[in-house]
Amino acid sequence: MQTLQFPQALQTSQTLQTSHFHEDEAVAKLSKLLALECGMSPEKAEQIYIAALLHDAGKKKLSAELLNKPDKLTPEEFEVMKTHTTFGAEMLRCVEGDLGVMVRKVALYHHERWDSCGYWGKSLSKLPRYVEIVAIADTFTALVSPLRTYKQPWPPKEAIDYIHSQAGSHFSHAMVNIFLQLLRTNDRIAGIYEPLLVVPAIIVTPKNATQGGVRNSRRFRI
């Protein structure tokens, strides 16, 4: 049975020094590394870093009460939550040029999915690749984050297994493979999530072995 070993430091989790962990910054740093892993230029990766940093800008227009609600959102509340994407794109309309196009697309579409079952029903396959990069970085970060009031942080192994299980549905197989490849080979990932992590071993099981076994039903929202 194939197993994937990840860098020593990116291992099982416990919540440590969570005040030092900033979600948007983690999403931005991971997005930049993913862009480079995809073969994008350093200049493009830097733009993606900025777009990822601003992806949830529209949340500033939503109430803290909604954002921090510990219980499941009602359908009405979920509709309001979705508007952080349109608010974000609107707030970023003053950004000019290629970067402006990128930041607005990322703000508007970072909750889309490969299978078109995201916020606005658009497939990631029809959007620029940088949108999927930020979407996968955002999802992983949301899963392991200790800053969500409605859930416990997922241990990284479970979050990685979950991303693995989403190949072909939430994300493309290609992007999931790039994500897994990056985790296997890039020690800088550990630095991004370091405030959350402590050692022991992590083994990501192959997709077939995780189907049905991953905590897909565990609650999270991004």
112 binds Fe ion (CB under 5 A): no
User: Would you say 56 or 158 has its CB closer to Fe ion?
Assistant: 56
- Quick note: the x/- pattern for Fe ion over 148-177, rule CB under 5 A, is ------------------------------
The site that binds Fe ion (CB under 5 A) totals a number of residues, namely 2
- Quick note: the x/- pattern for Fe ion over 123-152, rule CB under 5 A, is ---------------x--------------
User: Would you say 56 or 132 has its CB closer to Fe ion?
Assistant: 56
Which range touches Fe ion (CB under 5 A), out of 54-62, 69-77, 154-162, 173-181?
54-62
CB of 99 to Fe ion, least distance (A): 19
CB of 199 to Fe ion, least distance (A): 27
User: Would you say 122 or 207 has its CB closer to Fe ion?
Assistant: 122
**DSSP states along the chain:** ---EE--TTS-SB---SGGG--HHHHHHHHHHHHHHHTT--HHHHHHHHHHHHTTTGGGGGS-HHHHT-SSPPPHHHHHHHHHHHHHHHHHTTT--HHHHHHHHHHHHHTT-BTTS-STT--BGGGS-HHHHHHHHHHHHHHHH-S--TTSPPPPHHHHHHHHHHTBTTTB-HHHHHHHHHHHHH-THHHHHHGGGB--S--EEPPHHHHTTTS-TTS----
User: Do residues 135 and 171 touch, judged by C-beta distance below 8 A?
Assistant: yes
Q: CA-CA distance, 15 to 126, in Å (whole number)? A: 37
User: Would you say 112 or 138 has its CB closer to Fe ion?
Assistant: 138
User: Would you say 170 or 202 has its CB closer to Fe ion?
Assistant: 170
Selected binder of Fe ion within 56, 112, 132, 158 (CB under 5 A): 56
User: Using CB under 5 A as the criterion, which residues of the chain lie in contact with Fe ion when the complex forms?
Assistant: 56, 138
